[in-house]
Amino acid sequence: MKILLMGNPNVGKSVIFSRLTGVRVIVSNYPGTTVSYTRGLMKLGDETAEVIDVPGTYTLEPTCKAEEVALQMLDTGDVVINVVNATNLERNLYLTLQLLEKGVPVVVALNMWDDTKHQGINIDLDKLRGLLGVPVIPTVAVTGQGMKELVENIPKATLPGIPTHSRDERWAAIGSIIDQVQQVTHRHHTWRERLSDASVKPLSGGIIALAVLAISFVVIRFIGESLISYVIEPLFNNLWAPVLSKLSGLLGGSGFFHDIIIGKLIGGEVDFVQSFGLLSSGLYVPFGMVLPYIISFYLVLGLLEDIGYLPRLAVLLDTIMHRLGLHGYAIIPTLLGLGCNVPAIMATRILESKRERFIVATLISIALPCAALQAMIFGLVGERGGQYVAIVYGTLFVVWIIVGTILRYTVKGFTPELLVEIPPYRLPQWRATLQKLWMRVYGFLVAAVPIILGAVLVINILYFVGVFEAIANFTAPVITNLFGLPKEAVTAVVIGFLRKDVAIGMLAPLALSAKQLVVGSVVLAMFFPCIATFVVLLRELGVVNTLKSTGIMLSAVLITGGILNLVL
């Protein structure tokens, strides 16, 4: 049996989904589209039923791709649980009426039932059941209230079979239902609503946005650093390092296989960052340096999402994003890019037009340093003084604006206008938040770890046969003359194609001046996205557009690096 969870965006569908299903949840792509959905399993009596969290939709007359997918999925389901926001019956009932017209068995979950009381809304349930002709169950997904009744009523879903209406007839029908079942008493605005309105006014909204971003940044760094120093580093140093040194001894301390598997010994010891072997750096980079930041970043982002802050940020930044040929919602993949470019570029799928997807993906791969890279920039450049870190970030920001502006005028196509519901602020639910965090972290591990291991292996072999020296000699004039960096930095730049953070780490032993370090960091940040990002770019944009994007990137790197070298 296939159960579809359908409803408008922001009605708590995902929370109901995580209540119904267990932990084994799969995110899939709808065939032939970039729209993804979640599915899981639940027990229904003795049977196991498949539950699908259909993308949120306002109507079955599709206005965007996600809604097209929702409509197509509808034909594959046996029962629909229509999740309705009880505090906004008018708008939600539009989809409900369309579903009833479709002739699929429907159960209505009247979610956020507890909020109706706070908001002075009184709904006559029996009358509503009578008018709709299907089971209507009041639920509070966040506390689990009503979930048992909802499950019990799934087999009782009925097929009312009402005739098809036109849009105007539907709105008229909704008007008459609302008149009969709903009474609204006047009430005062709550502090949450005041805060909600304040966050979409230009001045107060700007201040709130700055505060939210600053706090997020501090919290992400705090959690990331804590994970590294109290969990990851002790594990690697106390458990993994002894194993590796034993293995190193067994392999003879040097030679081809030793260098590939363990890496070069630094001062007679295995160094997780610099040794660069499969089992040393190959494991330490993804698990020791990147994973902690991925976890902390996605935790904070997930919380911001669940609180309902992100649409407000999209509204505030809409004007700026329009200057780059985008609209406000492009801020979401952009923010993701500050965690890891891979999921960020995958998230460009939420944007409707090809043009926007190309612009955002290109900007992310050029101008947005990922969390791992930022950690290295802070560590290495920060040593020389905060002003140098500021120069690196400032340069990247200016590049983001300039490249975006150029793309806005040169990339063909259109950018649809912003039209988005601003949900009320809500307290996040740890269950749904953690489920989402797990799915994202797991996605990162599956996508990135094999690529990083493969990259370390390939680099080691290439290094051994002397390919790097050849490339270094070939590109040395650019590096030394244009960027003012020593010749040895070439290896770092080349490795930057595979792991940016490692590449910046390789600048450390070169005894660079502060200026050279700034130039090197900016060049490395902008130069080729890491190989994992590159693979995703290829998949999302196609060969031709990836080549275009790469061309833009190369020109931007040469110009920016050259200018920095001149002016600093």
Partner 1 sequence: MPDEKQVTLTQMWARQSGIVVQVQGGHGVVNRLSALGIIPGKRITKISSMLMRGPVIVEVDRTRVAIGFGMATMILVQLDNEATK
Site string for partner 1, 252-291 (x = CB under 8 A): ----------------------------------------
Cα 297 from Cα 562, distance rounded (Å): 33
> Please, what's the b/e burial string for 92-122 (b: 16 or more CB within 10 A of its CB; e: otherwise)?
bbbbbbbbbbbebbbbbbbbbbbbbeebebe
* CA 266 to the chain's CA centroid: 37
Piece of the chain touching partner 1 by CB under 8 A; list 13-21, 130-138, 313-321, 440-448 = 313-321
Q: How far is the CB of 74 from partner 1 (least distance, A)?
A: 16
Which of 511, 506, 509 lies closest to 494, judged by CA? 506
- In the complex, what is the shortest distance from the CB of residue 543 to partner 1, in angstroms, rounded to a whole number? 31
- Closer of 385 and 413 to partner 1 (Cβ): 413
- Binding flag, residue 314, partner 1 (CB under 8 A): yes
Q: Which of residues 59-78 bind partner 1 (CB under 8 A)?
A: 59, 61, 63-64
**Nearer to partner 1 (CB atom), residue 111 or residue 196:** 196
Q: How many CB atoms lie within 10 A of CB 354?
A: 15
Per rule CB under 8 A, is residue 227 in the interface with partner 1?
Answer: no
Of 102, 97, 109, 10, the C-alpha closest to 51 is 109
* Identified binder of partner 1 from the candidate list 196, 365, 429, 545, rule CB under 8 A: 196
Got the DSSP string for 110-150? EE-HHHHHHTTEEE-HHHHHHHHTS-EEE-BTTTTBTHHHH
Amino acid at 245: S
In the bound state with partner 1, the residue whose beta carbon lies nearer, of 89 and 342, is 89
CB of 9 to partner 1, least distance (A): 10
Structure tokens at 77: 């389901």
Select from 22, 28, 43, 90 the one that contacts partner 1 (CB under 8 A). Answer: 90
| Position 202 contacts partner 1 (CB under 8 A) | yes
Residues 92-151 that bind partner 1 (CB under 8 A): 94, 119
Q: For partner 1, which stretch binds (CB under 8 A), given 87-95, 151-159, 381-389, 512-520? A: 87-95
How far lies 9's CA from each of 63, 150, 169, 196, in Å? 14, 20, 24, 18
Shortest distance in whole angstroms from residue 424 CB to partner 1: 8
169 in contact with partner 1 (CB under 8 A): no
422 interacts with partner 1 by CB under 8 A: yes
Stretch touching partner 1 by CB under 8 A, among 55-63, 141-149, 212-220, 448-456: 55-63
DSSP string, 350-370: GSSSHHHHHHHHHHHHHH---
* Using rule CB under 8 A, residue 91 touches partner 1: yes
**Neighbouring residues of 98: CB distance < 8 A, sequence distance ≥ 6:** 59, 60, 61, 170
Cβ–Cβ under 8 Å, residues 348 and 357: yes
Show contacts with partner 1 in window 320-349 (CB under 8 A): 327-328
Among 33, 237, 319, 513, binds partner 1 (CB under 8 A): 319
Q: Does 311 bind partner 1 (CB under 8 A)?
A: yes
Q: And the tokens for 140?
A: 């509070």
- The phi, psi pair for 160, rounded to 5°, reads -75, -30
Question: Could you tell me the smallest distance in angstroms from the CB atom of residue 175 to partner 1?
Answer: 9
Q: Does residue 224 bind partner 1 (CB under 8 A)?
A: no
Q: Is 16 in the site for partner 1 (CB under 8 A)?
A: no
Binding range to partner 1, per CB under 8 A, among 248-256, 411-419, 488-496, 504-512 = 411-419
Kindly state the DSSP code that residue 57 receives in the 8-state scheme: -
**Among residues 1, 147, 200, 514, the one that binds partner 1 under rule CB under 8 A:** 200
Q: For partner 1, which is the closer residue by CB, 91 or 246?
A: 91
Name 461's Cβ contacts closer than 8 Å, sequence gap at least 6: 260
Query: And the tokens for 524?
Result: 């490395």
Q: What are the angstrom distances between the C-alpha of 555 and each of 326, 403, 526? A: 22, 10, 10
- The helix or strand, by DSSP H or E, that contains position 450, with its residue range, turns out to be helix 430-465
Which residues are 50's β-sheet partners? Answer: 2, 41
Residue 289's nearest CA partner among 438, 502, 510 is 502
Binding segment toward partner 1, per CB under 8 A, in 101-109, 194-202, 438-446, 507-515: 194-202
Q: Does 187 bind partner 1 (CB under 8 A)?
A: no
Q: In the complex, what is the shortest distance from the CB of residue 166 to partner 1, in angstroms, rounded to a whole number? A: 12
Q: How far is CA 280 from CA 241, 338, 501, in A?
A: 8, 26, 15
> Binding residues for partner 1, how many (CB under 8 A)?
34
* CA-CA-CA-CA dihedral for 534, 538, 540, 546, to nearest 10: 90
Kindly tell me which of 68 and 152 has the beta carbon lying closer to partner 1.
68
Residue among 24 and 189 whose Cβ is closer to partner 1: 189
Of residues 277 and 311, the one with the C-beta less far from partner 1: 311
Of 21, 88, 275, 341, the one binding partner 1 (CB under 8 A) is 88
**Position 246 contacts partner 1 (CB under 8 A):** no
Closest CB to partner 1 among 424 and 443?
424
Binding site for partner 1 (CB under 8 A): 58-59, 61, 63-64, 87-88, 90-91, 94, 119, 167, 171, 196-197, 200-202, 311, 314-316, 318-319, 327-328, 417-424
